[in-house]
Structure 1
Amino acid sequence: MTAASPFLPAVPAAPASRIPRVLTIAGSDPSGGAGIQADLKSIAAHGGYGMAAITALTAQNTRGVSAIHVPPADFLTAQLDAVSADIRIDAVKIGMLGDAAVIDAVRTWLAKVRPAIVVLDPVMVATSGDRLLQAPAESALQELLPYADLITPNLAELAILLNEPVAGNWAAALEQGKRLAAGTGTTVLVKGGHLDGDGAAGGAGEHGDGCPDALVNTCGVLARDVIVVPGERVRTSNSHGTGCSLSAAMATVQARVGDWEAALREVKPWLEGALRTSADLDVGSGNGPVHHFHHVQQQTAHHGTGAGGGELHRVPAAGEFARGLRETAAADLEAIYGLDFITALADGSLPEKDFAYYLGQDALYLNGYSRVLSRAAAIAPTEAEQLFWTRSAQNCLSVEAELHRTWLRGRTAERTLGPVTKSYVDHLLAASVTGSYGVLIAAVLPCFWLYAEVGQALHNRFLAAGAPESHPYAAWLRTYADPEFADATRQAIAHTDTAARAASPGERDAMTVAFRQSARYEVDFFDAPRVHA
């Protein structure tokens, strides 16, 4: 029973494949900080496979753009057709488009191919202030906007798209975002990075050094019209390619998680780190690039790790952390399957008093477990996760509790917490007060995962024996092989894996420890009836 978990395949990196295939349609920056060069770095930094169709060639460096060459639009069409004819594309990021003919070529291709995810960064004004899209092409760009699922303008570009003055504060920026979303039927990412400290604070409830971003929507794509994600302003002169990097990262993460809010909450801390460590690159004498791979740092003796070599700190690939947890639980599952309680439960020979003790403790455990799940719902970073943990808490108190009440009605069962149950609940409550969402859901995960695997294994044995109606525990065996419980388990695994990707290395270590402790308690919990007897 230590084979790969049947629940792990439900943690894919993208709907079509394990690695999101992301096509960037943008201009080239020979200095490497913006354009397709920045896009490809961002895609790789978030676990994607990057592809590029080049719309324009620029002569630029960290001090500005000195020349732009736009190849014929039909050559761009040839690039796009060549890629889409051979490779399934999970997401498209669109950046600099050069002129009206290029924009028309992209719009025609989008109408034909219909990619699942399109992020449009309407590159019109560079960070340096250079105008990258001439006025005659602006009307063509307006026609392209409705083809996007997410538009990511900077404040100057947002104003140009609306033919309005540039917003001077956060409240005004949000109002412009609402107007653009309403006019295009598309979600708009309003970015506060170009506001000064006071401007960022205005109307947003942020302190002077805040740097909020907001997903603004009016067409039902999000559960709320405006979702503000706060952030810390990073004071640096190295912001070349920030918009390119953000939009490419959003396309990649959205292809993996399928939730714009979750994508922004994962990408925003990464971009803050990329800005914070940008000086480490020491590139150019002007507005330098961000550090796309700051989260992948080779620690060498030069950095104080000693002569023994380096330590690699990186963000796990999608599903990698979950697979690691499953490996740590393999021994615990083996121990569970070897318990007399499980063997007797499977063949129906388990004394009723032992099963009654087990269910009585389980009912008491679920009461505490539901409180911990409610805490997870309260601190979850996205609405989807809040709803999932809330439903799970309710399920503990209704469906599963009803099974226990039915079984225990008229039977003698222990009504006080046994030592194992108390220790397990105390462990979960301790995890719930750490303040870490990742540690908390890692702690609650074994009650989903190990329970589901054990329940499925016992159910398979039950079916192999002909599923006799005379089996005294048939109802329990059927309940824990329920498809809805299996689906909930997959969701819990996926949420934990996503939290680990957004966590620091130290927090991931703490998540692993919390998971392993809970897995060990699962073994003890199944064995508690024997010890109690």
Structure 2
Amino acid sequence: MPTAFFQGTPALSSPFAAASAPGAQAGQYRDVPRVLAIAGSDPSGGAGIQADLKSIAAHGGYGMAAITALTAQNTRGVRGVHVPPAAFLTQQLDAVSDDISIDAVKIGMLGDAAVIEAVRAWLEKVRPGVVVLDPVMVATSGDRLLQESAEAALRGLLPLADLITPNLAELAMLVGGEVQETWEGALEQGHRLSAATGATVLVKGGHLAGDQCPDALVDAGGRLNQDVVVVPGQRVATRNSHGTGCSLSAAMATVQARLGDWEATLREVKPWLAGALEASETLEVGTGNGPVHHFHHVPAVRGEGSFAAQLWADARKDLADIYALDFIRGLVSGSLPEKDFAYYLAQDAIYLNGYSRVLARTSALAPTEAEQLFWARSAAQCLEVESELHRSWLSTRTVEPQLGPVTKSYVDHLAAASASGSYAVLAAAVLPCFWLYAEVGATLHAEFLAAGEPAGHPYAEWLRTYADEDFAAATRRAVAIVDGAGRSASAADRDAMVTAFRQSCRLEVDFFDAPRLHS
């Protein structure tokens, strides 16, 4: 079981770990935020209220909905829009807020000026702690979703938002400019919109050309640590982006109600959305611009019938064996002898060197550019962590550098999977190093927190890395990739994948137990 090779902040791996802070209606940020989505309905389920509620649930929130418009649409486009009377929307909003404390509001499609006015009047009366406004004016398909006569009313609503999340076409419309084709131009328009409205603006790079897909929080009012906070990202090669903007804004509202920090919120939501795009093809919904997979990261994706479910069932016994090891119990309690921990780290450094080579081979065999980039980055991270282990920990201690028998067995097993020439088999073989580690890490970190993070714990920093969100996000992508490979593989290849996965799981157990066997 090698060391985590991504550094970041804990998030989705523990979606209910919230920090208290002032500002929400109930007086503090909540573990399970109560989030109201105000938006139109999409009968195909990929966008609008349906996407909002999925996103809210995916981030641990309790979702509510007030419907502003009914649409006739599917993955190929919008066929019709019906806007009910604004007075009925007011009834919906009042019915909810008269009974339920609302921690956050996400506003999407509003339809016409009367609907916008109803929402504005309600916001001024209720004043929720978090308001995210997605100015739905133009769909990704190019369909116009807001009447031109309502644009002025929408601009009047923007100052009531804490965060505005336009796509590039909407951003240009709101500032009265041309749609930008460069990231710098988009950031400049975002700054103008923030200055005009007093809100933070999320500038999204999803519609720009190229492999990069950055997002940025832009704030002209000094509410962030800096005027522009850029979170980089890679474009996911998929045609399935239906409802991406709705999903992002609803997720931002939900996580902000938990964390109270826009930068931390974006850094949690962005990897989740990338994973949702990566796993979108597994849904097989529609013949056009399909929806993202909102629940790609939760155990439900291991549900009956999926290939990942079969693998996860196979891994459960190995997980139980890991949790029962003296090494694991001693690591959590702090009683683990340092010599055992040192031996584990030394073997880990050796393993990561070999594992990085196998990941590079996985990248070379991958059928898509997105998967090639994923495995290549993982390989690079392995080498970085191996170097860091030597610099920060191993260099200060006398540690046996020889290749141990368990480490050799594991590396030899992965080398054999690599020599098979099968991308699917190799991906299945490397998956337990992601999956089991992430599961064990989240459990150990939760136990460490439950114990109150005891002072003087010799492995405190180590345990904190177990909840790394970047690694959790990478694990979700690895699971989705292997699940997709397994579903499309032949029966013989699936059997070979299962065999390779099982052997890696057993070797993960042995890797944790190696210090005992060595002594």
TM-score normalised per structure 1? 0.59
Contact map agreement 2:132 2:164 (CA 8 A) in 1: yes
The aligned residue for residue 12 of structure 1 is 18
The aligned residue for residue 213 of structure 1 is 215
1:66/1:258 CA distance change after superposition, 3 Å:
same
Deviation by residue 1:16-36 (Cα, 9 ceiling, x = unmatched): 542111100000000111000
Whether 1:287 and 2:289 are equivalent positions in the alignment is yes
The aligned residue for residue 152 of structure 1 is 165
SS at match of 1:119: strand
Return the match for 1:107 from 101, 112, 120.
120
Whether 1:67 and 2:69 are equivalent positions in the alignment is no
Contact map agreement 1:91 1:116 (CA 8 A) in 2: yes
Aligned equivalents of 1:243, 1:155: Cα separation in 2: 11
Aligned equivalents of 2:209, 2:449: Cα separation in 1: 47
The aligned residue for residue 483 of structure 2 is none
Deviation by residue 1:396-448 (Cα, 9 ceiling, x = unmatched): xxxxxxxxxxxxxxxxxxxxxxxxx9699xxxxxxxxxxxxx99x99x989x9
Deviation by residue 1:79-132 (Cα, 9 ceiling, x = unmatched): 111111111111100000010011011111111111000000000001110111
1:332/1:57 CA distance change after superposition, 3 Å:
same
The aligned residue for residue 237 of structure 2 is 235
Aligned equivalents of 2:96, 2:467: Cα separation in 1: 34
Contact map agreement 1:266 1:502 (CA 8 A) in 2: no
Deviation by residue 1:181-239 (Cα, 9 ceiling, x = unmatched): 11111110001111111xxxxxxxxxxx1111111111121001011111111122211
Contact map agreement 1:25 1:93 (CA 8 A) in 2: yes
Whether 1:163 and 2:167 are equivalent positions in the alignment is no
The aligned residue for residue 223 of structure 1 is 225
1:450/1:227 CA distance change after superposition, 3 Å:
same
SS at match of 1:504: helix
Aligned equivalents of 1:121, 1:71: Cα separation in 2: 20
Whether 1:270 and 2:276 are equivalent positions in the alignment is no
Return the match for 2:302 from 282, 298, 305.
298
Aligned equivalents of 1:11, 1:20: Cα separation in 2: 12
For residues 175-254 of structure 1, the aligned pairs below 5 Å read 175-197=188-210, 209-254=211-256
SS at match of 2:286: coil
How far did residue 504 of structure 1 move?
Answer: 2.8
Residue type of the alignment partner of 1:76? L
Contact map agreement 2:71 2:82 (CA 8 A) in 1: yes
The aligned residue for residue 49 of structure 2 is 36
Aligned equivalents of 1:451, 1:281: Cα separation in 2: 40
1:331/1:277 CA distance change after superposition, 3 Å:
closer
For residues 32-431 of structure 1, the aligned pairs below 5 Å read 32-197=45-210, 209-296=211-298, 297-298=301-302, 303=307, 309=313
Aligned equivalents of 1:108, 1:450: Cα separation in 2: 44
The aligned residue for residue 504 of structure 1 is 475
Residue type of the alignment partner of 2:288? G
Aligned equivalents of 2:74, 2:181: Cα separation in 1: 29
Residue ranges of structure 2 left out of the alignment (5+ in a row): 1-13, 21-27, 317-322, 336-395, 400-437, 479-507
How far did residue 496 of structure 1 move?
Answer: 5.0
Residue type of the alignment partner of 2:149? P
Aligned equivalents of 2:293, 2:81: Cα separation in 1: 25
SS at match of 1:128: coil
Higher relative contact order (CA 8 A, sep 6+): 2
How far did residue 12 of structure 1 move?
Answer: 3.4
Single out whichever of 83-92 and 290-299 deviates more from structure 2: 290-299
Deviation by residue 1:130-161 (Cα, 9 ceiling, x = unmatched): 11101110000001001111000000000110
Aligned equivalents of 2:149, 2:283: Cα separation in 1: 37
Deviation by residue 1:43-91 (Cα, 9 ceiling, x = unmatched): 1111111100000011111111111111111111111111111111111
Contact map agreement 1:214 1:228 (CA 8 A) in 2: yes
Aligned equivalents of 1:211, 1:88: Cα separation in 2: 36
1:310/1:161 CA distance change after superposition, 3 Å:
farther
How far did residue 253 of structure 1 move?
Answer: 0.9
Aligned equivalents of 1:220, 1:308: Cα separation in 2: 47
How far did residue 179 of structure 1 move?
Answer: 0.6
RMSD of aligned residue pairs (Cα, Å): 4.8
SS at match of 1:60: strand
1:89/1:62 CA distance change after superposition, 3 Å:
same
Aligned equivalents of 2:43, 2:203: Cα separation in 1: 28
1:269/1:452 CA distance change after superposition, 3 Å:
closer
Aligned equivalents of 2:173, 2:117: Cα separation in 1: 19
Contact map agreement 1:11 1:493 (CA 8 A) in 2: no
Residue type of the alignment partner of 2:136? V
Residue type of the alignment partner of 2:213? C
Aligned equivalents of 1:225, 1:294: Cα separation in 2: 33
1:245/1:506 CA distance change after superposition, 3 Å:
closer
Aligned equivalents of 1:64, 1:78: Cα separation in 2: 30
Contact map agreement 1:277 1:291 (CA 8 A) in 2: yes
How far did residue 251 of structure 1 move?
Answer: 0.6
Deviation by residue 1:254-286 (Cα, 9 ceiling, x = unmatched): 111111111111111111111122121111121
Max Rg structure:
1
Residue ranges of structure 1 left out of the alignment (5+ in a row): 1-7, 198-208, 313-323, 337-420, 425-437, 456-479, 481-488, 508-512, 521-533
Contact map agreement 2:29 2:260 (CA 8 A) in 1: no
1:169/1:71 CA distance change after superposition, 3 Å:
same
For residues 473-492 of structure 1, the aligned pairs below 5 Å read none
Aligned equivalents of 1:51, 1:102: Cα separation in 2: 18
SS at match of 2:121: helix
Contact map agreement 1:301 1:309 (CA 8 A) in 2: no
SS at match of 2:302: strand
